[in-house]
């Protein structure tokens, strides 16, 4: 009986941990010096899929991805781009092969993306909302 209670409690704790990680809020960020106040999901998708290279205000937009497998990246890909990692790999493989595009640069963790974006008004990335500070501006969140 003691083992069973321990196992149930442990499994419940793991379930809560994974559920909260899966539902963490993600913020799409630009430099605090970027003129864009908000960007809709369709425009974000176009920027991150290489279909446009400009922000709504006309300035250059350079997307930055987190490392493959990061929770924020998986959530962004699914909710904003409407694709899973396999679909995105196939998408970028076709564009690279035909010479029509290159995927966004991978930059690592929330802190890495935030540091890059904060220092360049042309960059756009996404991070866990808990990592947002005054050095960046949130233009979209989910």
**Tens digits of residue pLDDT in 48-104:** 999 999 999 999 999 999 999 999 999 999 999 999 999 999 999 999 999 999 999
**Cα distance between residue 23 and residue 85, in whole Å:** 18
The pair of three-digit structure tokens given for residue 4, joined into one six-digit string: 């069973």
What class does CATH assign to 24-141?
alpha beta
The helix/strand/coil state of 73 is: helix
How does strand 105-106 pair with strand 62-65?
Answer: parallel
CA–CA separation, 67 and 74 (whole Å): 10
- 3 versus 63: the higher-pLDDT residue is 63
Q: Are 140 and 44 in contact (CB under 8 A)?
A: yes
Every domain of the chain and the residues it spans = 24-141
């Amino acid at each position: 009986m003691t083992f069973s209670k321990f196992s149930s409690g442990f499994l419940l704790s793991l379930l809560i941990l994974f559920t909260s990680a899966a539902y963490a809020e993600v913020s799409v960020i630009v430099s605090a010096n970027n003129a864009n106040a908000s960007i809709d999901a369709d425009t974000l998708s176009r920027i991150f899929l290489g279909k446009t290279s400009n922000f709504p205000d006309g300035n250059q937009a350079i997307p930055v991805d987190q490392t493959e497998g990061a929770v924020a990246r998986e959530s962004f890909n699914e909710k904003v781009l409407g694709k899973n990692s396999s679909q995105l790999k196939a998408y970028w493989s076709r564009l690279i092969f035909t010479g029509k595009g290159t995927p966004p640069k991978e930059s690592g963790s929330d802190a890495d993306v935030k540091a890059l974006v904060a220092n360049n008004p042309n960059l756009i990335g996404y991070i866990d909302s808990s990592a947002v500070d005054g050095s960046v501006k949130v233009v979209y969140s989910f």
